[in-house]
């Protein structure tokens, strides 16, 4: 692929990843969107993609695969190797694929060792390993910007969030080391930390409606953070003039995290 203005998005068919994809298309970025959806969701997503291509005159490639499998990883690597060197300007890791269960319970199923390992790898370690692969293949532009998303659950307890919280803590540590080691190459790595966003992932939490209402009361604006709130900040941070922001966790929650 000859273009030098590509954004690669893991988890770009819904939620924050999808909102970021939309904002990037509006700014003229060509998109590579990796997602994992069933037939009905994919049909709706494909219709959305077609409208973006028409309205913003951008190229968009989508792959509906599970990159947590060996087959999915190899398929994605093979596809990405068709792109020119240094053609990926933006890499966004927005994977929400993990287990939400308690660590200890006499009534409910609890997290197994495999559950913990899968979640931490999927939502934490893979952020580093995919960035490593993109770097080794020389696909990242010399001024590339790498992003992922953490949460307050990395250092506060949320019911049934232990595995995801652990993954986010790993993500934050890796971000700091990635940012340090990639800085000499002109590549920055940062995390955004949204407030509670009403995505598909949150629906698996216990007593979710009660939780959402509590957050709305807590938030100074008395509403949840939206995917669009997050995406609009991210597209401001991709400007080439924003080159001194590196290895940071950036809150985007309307002040929610300041209220106890």
> Residue 2's pLDDT is what?
46
Strands 88-93 and 6-10: parallel
- The pLDDT score that the predictor gives to residue 206 is 78
Phi, psi of 31 (to 5 degrees): -120, 140
Measured on CA atoms in the order 122, 112, 163, 170, is the torsion positive or negative?
negative
CA neighbor of 67 nearest in space, from 75, 79, 59: 75
Antiparallel, parallel or unpaired: β 249-252 and 88-93 = unpaired
pLDDT given at position 247: 98
pLDDT at 203: 75
How does DSSP classify residue 90? E
Contact present, 12 and 98 (Cβ < 8 Å):
no
Comparing CA positions, the residue from 171, 155, 77, 192 lying closest to residue 119 is: 171
Nearest one of 147, 158, 146, 237 to 186, comparing CA atoms: 146
Per-residue confidence in pLDDT tens, the chain, 260 aa: 445 689 999 999 999 999 999 999 999 999 999 999 998 889 999 999 999 999 999 999 999 999 999 999 999 999 999 999 999 999 999 999 999 999 999 998 999 999 999 999 999 999 999 999 999 999 999 999 999 999 999 999 999 999 999 999 999 999 999 999 999 999 999 999 999 999 877 777 778 899 899 999 999 999 999 999 999 999 999 999 999 999 999 999 999 999 97
Whether residue 212 contacts residue 224, with contact meaning beta carbons closer than 8 Å, is answered with yes
Measure the CA–CA gap between 114 and 117, rounded to whole angstroms.
Answer: 5
User: Rounded to whole angstroms, how far apart are CA atoms 103 and 185?
Assistant: 41
Alpha helix segments (H runs only) across 123-161: 126-136
The sign of the CA dihedral 260, 17, 37, 10 is negative
Q: Which domains does the chain have, with CATH numbers?
A: 6-252 (3.40.50.720)
Strands, sheet with 30-35, edge to edge from the N-terminal-most edge strand: 60-64, 30-35, 6-10, 88-93, 140-149, 188-194, 249-252
Residue 150 has a pLDDT of 98
Per-residue pLDDT, 199: 84
């Amino acid at each position: 692929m000859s273009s030098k203005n590509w954004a690669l998005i893991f988890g770009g068919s819904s939620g924050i990843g999808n909102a970021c994809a939309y904002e990037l298309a509006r700014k003229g970025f060509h998109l590579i969107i990796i997602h994992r959806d069933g037939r009905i969701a994919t049909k709706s997503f494909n219709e959305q993609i077609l409208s973006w291509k028409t309205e913003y005159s951008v190229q968009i490639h989508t792959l509906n695969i599970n990159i947590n499998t060996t087959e999915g990883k190899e398929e994605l690597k093979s596809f990405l190797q068709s792109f020119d060197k240094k053609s990926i300007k933006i890499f966004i890791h927005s994977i929400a694929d993990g287990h939400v269960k308690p660590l200890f319970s006499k009534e409910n199923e609890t997290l197994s060792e495999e559950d913990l390992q899968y979640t931490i790898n999927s939502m934490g370690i893979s952020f580093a390993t995919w960035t490593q692969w993109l770097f080794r293949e020389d696909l990242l532009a010399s001024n590339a910007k790498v992003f992922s998303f953490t949460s307050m659950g990395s250092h506060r307890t949320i019911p049934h969030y232990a595995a995801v919280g652990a993954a986010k803590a790993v993500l934050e540590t890796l971000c700091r080391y990635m940012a340090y080691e990639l800085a000499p190459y002109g590549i920055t790595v940062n995390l955004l930390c949204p407030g509670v966003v009403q995505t598909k992932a949150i629906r698996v939490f216990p007593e979710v409606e009660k939780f959402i209402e509590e957050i709305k009361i807590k938030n100074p604006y008395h509403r949840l953070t939206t995917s669009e709130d997050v995406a609009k900040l991210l597209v401001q941070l991709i400007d080439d003039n924003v080159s001194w922001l590196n290895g940071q966790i950036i809150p985007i929650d309307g002040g929610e995290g300041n209220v106890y």
